[in-house]
Structure 1
């Protein structure tokens, strides 16, 4: 029977598949295509130089064994690397023989130009010195559905997440965008979905990454001239989870590359999961074409947990940590820490630590002391951006108007109130507050704070503004 490139490569794949993990086989060998067989040399088309270098570093011995079994000891392997011709915008190919130290036989590179790229091009998730060929999911297994308790505040998001975990890419929740305030469980739920998918579909390539890390990797790919390889790597993922997508704001290059990655994954039935501290309509400096894609699936909000959910969270935390606590203390904690789940769990940890280190029982008096100190310390965690949003919403104006140079009285007062609460509720300097609220100097902020204090004591309506905003910012 006459040997063909297809038949030789099919037999090689059977051998390779038996000798590596399914996920690695799917990622690194299924995309390869046989091109031709000439003079005992098998030509294989690989998607990028990234693929070529990766195969050379990690799979050359496996490839050599497989090809030698089919073609004998003088077998040769030549890669056809798909490239993009920047001048014509058309695909081109260059061929490359494996490096001499790994050659099957002594041979020379074929006479074709090879575009110069950085020799350091690697999978961005591989730690130097660790030869792990599979894409690690970066998931935290302790963040699962069992530890993410359901309540009125998160029911839609949790149930949608479970549906995605059971059928990734096969529901109408693609993408699934989970949004909500700080400490409400967005990251936990995103991990739980990923963990659930890996349990149900072990062969799927699941990847969790923070938006900040994605931006760093993209910036590095630009510096090393490996943007196409960066895109190709992410297009291999079956389930992509990006945390805190709002950090893409104002980063046009990152948004553009993510747009192409998103389109490829979505069109190929892959699942995309995103988290954000705001809903799509409130995201600023994000391209409209990207926002429209965020809205294709489901946007599910996480709200502040209600009283019953807070009680359940405390009881679950105590059970997992093997700690007993009187019900009256549990209810006291649930009644007095209402902001978010992170603060609630932090208070529990502090309470257990004080009891353990001081060798004292957990009493209601100790709980009161912890809550008093903890709530006092966490109230100042509000950001200047949050203050500006609350104030601008209260006065029914946008943040750009609040920060503008206009001297209209109601806008000036709103701006002064934002400066006043920024000084009162954050640790930022006067200069920093002024810089963030309309690029004013520290003297303007100081004047604003004094004006607010004077008006609050003499103007009844203005004092109501102060009291209302105080309550909104304390929630």
Structure 2
């Protein structure tokens, strides 16, 4: 019985299907068409060059085994890549591509027609760290949903992230903007979304990049006169993740180009994920047309984790590192480092290191020494949100009251004190302070600071307020 290309390929597929995941088989092998069989060379048609490269990188071994079983040790595999030309007419051409040195499936070179171009593959703007044609995601696989522990402080953001990862571009969370203070897990969650999408949809092009690097790339593109190539590159991304988008503040050119890229991606059902240290309403020097688009999807806040969540984070970290630690020590660290997950894990790492390097038993006294160092080193990194909480708690009112428009004397004084300490303990501009404390302007903040200075020198009771709150913020 004479064998055909289809019969040989069908036998290969049976073997492959038994040895890989169903989703991977459906994605990477069902679209392949067997074209011809010549001696010991099987020609198959694949949809794109990217598709071919993915097969060579991830499935070359199983292809070799399957083909060798059918055609013997001298088996060859020839790829026919079906591309679309510039005018949108489908025009297949054959490319016999040499496999890499590690590949045992070999073939020969032929010329490729020059008039065939594919916008799907063309990547004229070669970004440092990202190879031409095959776009590396720049994701950190260590940041996953599995080690991003859920608590009241992050439940909305984490759930939205999972929804986006399950159906990128197909939910109402587009864009998804994750915002919150330093060390609360924004970058971790952004990577986790990308990693999960790559796992579920390996054919999608996912790219993680910081707003700072995006800006630098745009500047380089302007210098080299290839702005359009820059835009084209970003418009072929399926899932674009931009970290620290507040860095675009004041950069009108970068904001303009991002506006066009965002519109194209959004209109074509692509997913955009953004992170920021503040909500859109509090962003300064970002164009309104861009801010309005940030609000199209969902803005989800990562808040300071509560005690139970902090304990869970520590226990999870210890479990992953294979270390046991007494409950009382875990509780002590969790009670004393409250504002930052990064510092929380850092304290535990330091505790383990001190114990193992210096052969010391992990005790409460050792924990106290480590925690004091962390608190001392980070006490100046006080956020405006934290200052408002401390001031409102001190005067026994909620933050909404503190930020309200009321002119009641004790509330006005509390608000002025919050502005005064925000200027003293943070690097935020007067405009940013005013925006975050009741949407006031910079002149109001300046007046508040002068009022606090004056009252501190003339009013004994008011001076006590300043001293008490200073102590609380300096702990």
What TM-score range do you get, normalising by the shorter chain? 0.5 to 0.7
2:53 maps to what in 1?
20
Pair 15,356 (structure 1): closer, same or farther in 2 beyond 3 Å: closer
Partner of 1:33: 86
Q: 2: distance between equivalents of 1:369 and 1:160?
A: 39
Residue 415 of structure 1 and its aligned partner are, at CA, apart by 8.4
SS in 2 for 1:242: strand
Rounded to whole Å, the distance in 2 between the matches of 1:43 and 1:162 is 39
TM-aligned CA distance change 1:459 to 1:397, over 3 Å = farther
Could you give the per-residue CA deviations for residues 137-156 of structure 1, whole angstroms, max 9, x where no partner exists? 11111100011000011111
Match of residue 345 from structure 1: 345
Superposition RMSD in Å: 4.4
1:120-142, CA deviations, whole angstroms, 9 ceiling, x for partnerless residues?
96421446xxx664111111111
The reply on whether 1:316 has 2:316 as its aligned counterpart is: yes
- Cα deviation digits, residues 438-466 of structure 1 (max 9, x gap): 99xxxxxxx999868645xx521343255
Q: Is it true that 1:124 corresponds to 2:161 in the alignment?
A: no
1:460 aligns with 2:457: no
Task: Name the residue aligned to 2:70.
Answer: none
* Count of residue pairs the alignment pairs up: 369
Matched, 1:223 2:220: no
Contact kept, 8 Å, 1:174 with 1:266, in 2: the verdict is: yes
Distance 1:14 1:267 in 2: 24
- 1:380 counterpart residue number: 380
CA distance in 1: counterparts of 2:49 and 2:86, whole angstroms: 15
The 1:29–1:295 alpha-carbon spacing in structure 2 relative to 1, beyond 3 Å, is farther
2:56 and 2:86 map into 1 onto residues whose CA distance is: 18
In structure 2, the gaps of 5 or more residues are: 1-43, 58-80, 94-107, 393-398, 406-410, 434-440, 443-449
Match in the other structure for 2:22: none
Deviation at 1:346, TM superposition (A): 1.1
Give me the TM-score of the superposition, normalised by structure 1.
0.66
Q: Give the alignment of 1:400-419 within 5 angstroms.
A: none
Does the 8 Å CA contact 2:185/2:341 hold for their aligned counterparts? yes
SS at match of 1:33: coil
Structure 1 unmatched runs, 5+: 1-10, 45-63, 69-75, 83-119, 399-409, 440-446
CA 1:464 to 1:218, structure 2 compared with 1: closer, same or farther past 3 Å?
same
CA distance in structure 1 between the partners assigned to 2:48 and 2:272 by the alignment: 33
Closer/same/farther in 2, CA of residues 17 and 373 from structure 1, 3 Å limit: closer
Contact in 1 for aligned 2:182/2:277 (Cα 8 Å): yes
> How does 1:189-268 map onto structure 2 within 5 Å?
189-268=189-268
Q: Deviations over 1:278-320 (max 9, x none)?
A: 1111111111111111111111111110111000000000111
Partner of 2:139: 139
What are the Cα deviations for residues 157-192 of structure 1, in whole angstroms up to 9, with x where unaligned? Answer: 101111111111111111111111111111110000
In structure 1, C-alpha distance between the alignment counterparts of 2:366 and 2:358, rounded to whole Å: 11
Displacement of 1:386 in angstroms is 8.8
> Equivalent residue of 1:380, what SS?
coil
Helix, strand or coil for the counterpart of 1:345? helix
